[in-house]
Amino acid sequence: MGEVKGFLKYDRLEVGHRSIEERIHDFSELDLPLTPDEIKQQTARCMDCGVPFCHGAGCPLQNCIPDMNELVYQDRWQEACDLLHMTNNFPEITGRVCPAPCEASCTLAVNDKPVLIRHIEFQVVERGFKEGWIRPQPPAVSTGKRVAIVGSGPAGLAAAQQLARAGHTVVVFEKDEKPGGLLRYGIPDFKLEKHIIDRRLEQLSAEGVEFRTGVVVGEDFSTRYLRKRFDCICLTMGVGEPRDLNIVGRGHENILFAMDFLKVQNQLCSGELVESEATESISAKDKTVVVIGGGDTGSDCVGTAIRHGARQVHQLEILPKPPESRPPETPWPMWPKVMRTSSSQEEGCIRQWSVMTKKFSGRETRVTKLECCQVEWVNEKGAWKVKELPGTDFTLEADLVLLALGFVHVTHPGLVNDLELKLDGAGNLVVNDYQTSEPGIFAAGDTVSGASLVVRAINSGRQAASAIDNWLKQNR
């Protein structure tokens, strides 16, 4: 424990961002890291609780947060870095993009400001890379078992690393040009610069993980081939199907799924794409952009659009505006449904809540206007229903509409259908201890749970790896 009553002595410092004027002109990361002294003070706020909710209730990876804080406080950064890696394969990623449920469940969050956990994690891992503490850990012996991993998002990569370290031969198949999945193609650079992923992939490669990119399993080669060549398969291709908004006018060509919009920008940033007419056509420059969907992806669209030089950005959310402070429905230590403003939203966007889009209208192939109305939510026999409020109709000008409404489920055609895997009501894979209905075929991440946080995906990948390892041991 840092300091008794440290939390009274030191206030929580928030991580600073580059100024809006500066940052909206580039795609580089925003954070201005705290100084080492500031970090030490922040760790001193941690009380090393007898029941650490951050670790026990907040963090899906069960990071040993109090211990990490203590090590940092004692200036034992390398051990902190090792400790972090004991539960988390990619702290540099969660340290950047995790919404930090650990902080929401920090004991101090009950009536004070929580410990600055995520940023401490970020600092620890970045220091680890800088000092060269994070090195490949190739296995001492090889088991000779072969595992195929389909999809290289956080779940797939975590599973791959764990399995490779356990001595198995791991091949990761990725349909895109580079591994990383949504980390690479979904999250904008201003939140996660892609060399961060590359840096980690080098470690994975050095530990023996083989990457086969640009291949679609089930198309480029058959699942039969895969089954024959590998002792087991782990499906971590995420939920490919975005949720659509099937209303009149959906067919206009300037209505895009958020992911399509974000991916292009990410490819532009990395140089996989060069600016072209095609990329130009979906650029938000000088446009009025309407983002439908108030979540994180929506925010990413907002930030990206602003960086394109959009004239105006609107963001619509069908749910009501959340309260400023923690509502009783989500008491501590739960994730609080409160009003949050992302860095992108800060950069300038007009947000509206309780808004339903009823119709797109436009000229020819391009949408110019959204017809919307206000809604209210009513509880009917325990189920929430949305109800239009009469007389609240309004219209919204738009040159570009981005749909950030979440995702429905794993893509069924191809692999999933070929293997005849059992699906749950939501269309995701049914698993038992990470094993699908097909013996030897495992699944993890969003594929199983539906779209969720990166941190959950990492955890899921780790758990699946452990299940696979056990399965391989038993099926020798």
Partner 1 sequence: MTLKFEDRGLYEVRREHDACGVGVAANINGLRSHSVIEHGKEILLNLHHRGAAGADEVTGDGAGILFQIPHEFFKAVCADSGITLPEPSQYGVGMIFGPRDEALRNKCEQVLEESLRYYGMMMLGWRDVPIANDCLGKIALESEPTVRQIFVDGCGLEEKVLEQKLYLARKRAEKLVRKKFGQEGKDFYVASLSGRTICYKGMFMAWQLFAYYPDLADERLTSALAIVHQRYSTNTFPSWQLAQPLRCIAHNGEINTLSGNRNQLQARQAKMASEAFGEDIHDLLPVLTPDASDSACFDNVLELLVRAGRSMPHAMMMLIPEAFGAGYHISTDKRAFYEFHASFMEPWDGPAAMAFTDGRIVGGTLDRNGLRPCRYLVTTDGLLIMASEAGVVDVPPEKVRQKGRLRPGHMFIVDTGEKRIILDNEIKSKITRQSPYRRWLDENRIELRGMFDIPKLAHTDSETLTKRLRWFGYTREELKMILLPMARNGQEPVGSMGNDAPLAVLSDKPKLLFNYFKQLFAQVTNPPIDPLREGMVMSLMNFVGKKPNILTESPEHCRQLKLPHPILANEDVERLCTAKRNDFKVARVSAVFDANVPDAAAGMKQALAGLVDSATKAIRDGASLIIISDREVSETKAPIPSLLATAAVHHGLLNRGLRGEVGLIVESAEPREVMHFCLLCGFGANAINPYLTFETLEYLQLQGQLPEEMESTQIADNYIAAIKKGILKTISKMGISTLRSYTGAQLFEAIGLNRSLVDEYFTGTSSRIGGIGLAEIAKDVVTRHSETSSSLQQPGLLSLDYGGEYHFRHKGEEHLWNPESISKLQHAVQFNDQKAYDEYAHAINDQARKQYTLRGLFDFVPGKAVPLEEVEPASEIVKRFCTGAMSHGSISKETHECMAVAMNRIGAMSNTGEGGEDASRYTPEPNGDSKNCAIKQIASGRFGVTANYLAHAKELQIKIAQGAKPGEGGQLPGHKVTAEIAKLRHSTPGVTLISPPPHHDIYSIEDLAQLIYDLKCSNPGVKVSVKLVAEVGVGTIAAGVAKGNADEVLISGHDGGTGASPLSSIKHTGCPWELGLAETQQVLVMNNLRDRIRVQTDGQLKTGRDVVIAALLGAEQFGFGTSVLVTLGCTLLRKCHEGACPFGISTQDPELRARFAGKPEYIIRFMLLMAEEARRIMAQLGFRKFEDMIGQVDRLKTSDAIDHWKSQGLDFSAIFQKPVAAEGQALRLTSQQADKLEDHLDWQILAQAKQTLESQKPAVIELPIRNINRTVGAILSNRIVKKYGEEGLKEGTLNIVLRGSAGQSFGAFLVPGVTLTLIGDSNDYLGKSLSGGRIIVKKPDEAPFRSHENIIVGNTVLYGATSGEVFINGMAGERFCVRNSGAWALVEGVGDHGCEYMTGGLVVVLGKTGCNFAAGMSGGLAYVLDEAQLFDTKCNLDMVELESVWKDEDKDLLHEMISRHLELTGSERAKYILEAWPDMVGKFVKVVPIDYRKALEKMRAAEQRYTETIPATEEVFPWVK
Q: Give DSSP secondary structure letters for 52-86.
A: -HIIIII-TT---HHHHHHHHHTT-HHHHHHHHHH
| CB-CB neighbours of 329 under 10 Å | 9
What type of residue is 294?
G
CB of 50 to partner 1, least distance (A): 3
Distance CA 421, CA 5 (A): 54
Terminal alpha carbon distance of the chain: 45
198: contact with partner 1 by CB under 8 A: no
Nearer to partner 1, 51 or 278 (CB): 51
Q: For partner 1, which residue of 38, 79, 210, 418 counts as binding (CB under 8 A)?
A: 79
Q: For partner 1, which residue of 24, 64, 115, 306 counts as binding (CB under 8 A)?
A: 64
Binding segment for partner 1 among 53-61, 214-222, 289-297, 316-324 (CB under 8 A)?
53-61
Nearer to partner 1, 64 or 197 (CB): 64
Nearer to partner 1, 87 or 270 (CB): 87
Distances from the Cα of 195 to the Cα of 92, 183, 184, 185, angstroms: 11, 11, 10, 13
DSSP 107: G
By C-alpha distance, which of 70, 38, 59, 145 is closest to 102? 59
For the record, the structure tokens of 230 come out as 């590998």
Q: For partner 1, which residue of 56, 136, 406, 450 counts as binding (CB under 8 A)?
A: 56
Binding segment for partner 1 among 75-83, 199-207, 222-230, 238-246 (CB under 8 A)?
75-83
CB of 183 to partner 1, least distance (A): 25
Q: Which helix (H) or strand (E) holds 377?
A: strand 366-380
How many residues are recorded in the chain?
476
For the record, the structure tokens of 369 come out as 């206007």
90: contact with partner 1 by CB under 8 A: no
Site string for partner 1, 102-121 (x = CB under 8 A): ---x-xx-xxx---------
Distance CA 230, CA 475 (A): 13
Nearer to partner 1, 63 or 152 (CB): 63
The distance of Cα 45 from the centroid of its chain, to the nearest Å, equals 28
Q: For partner 1, which residue of 27, 53, 173, 434 counts as binding (CB under 8 A)?
A: 53
DSSP lists the bridge partners of residue 359 as 248, 371
Nearer to partner 1, 137 or 222 (CB): 137
Binding segment for partner 1 among 66-74, 91-99, 123-131, 419-427 (CB under 8 A)?
66-74
Distance CA 118, CA 69 (A): 11
Q: For partner 1, which residue of 27, 39, 52, 455 counts as binding (CB under 8 A)?
A: 52
Nearer to partner 1, 58 or 295 (CB): 58
Distance CA 442, CA 465 (A): 9
CB of 343 to partner 1, least distance (A): 29
138: contact with partner 1 by CB under 8 A: no
Q: Under a CB-based contact definition with an 8 Å cutoff, are residues 203 and 92 in contact?
A: no
By C-alpha distance, which of 296, 243, 239, 244 is closest to 448? 239
Distance CA 454, CA 462 (A): 12
354: contact with partner 1 by CB under 8 A: no
47: contact with partner 1 by CB under 8 A: yes
325: contact with partner 1 by CB under 8 A: no
Distance CA 260, CA 105 (A): 34
Interacting residues with partner 1 between 292 and 311 (CB under 8 A): none
Site string for partner 1, 263-282 (x = CB under 8 A): --------------------
459: contact with partner 1 by CB under 8 A: no
Residue appearing with tokens 């739960």: 334
Q: For partner 1, which residue of 8, 339, 378, 386 counts as binding (CB under 8 A)?
A: 8
Distances from the Cα of 191 to the Cα of 29, 93, 309, 393, angstroms: 5, 10, 18, 36
Interacting residues with partner 1 between 326 and 345 (CB under 8 A): 328, 331-334
Distance CA 240, CA 173 (A): 15
Binding site for partner 1 (CB under 8 A): 4-5, 7-8, 47-53, 55-57, 62, 64, 66-67, 74-76, 78-79, 82-83, 86, 105, 107-108, 110-112, 133, 137, 328, 331-334
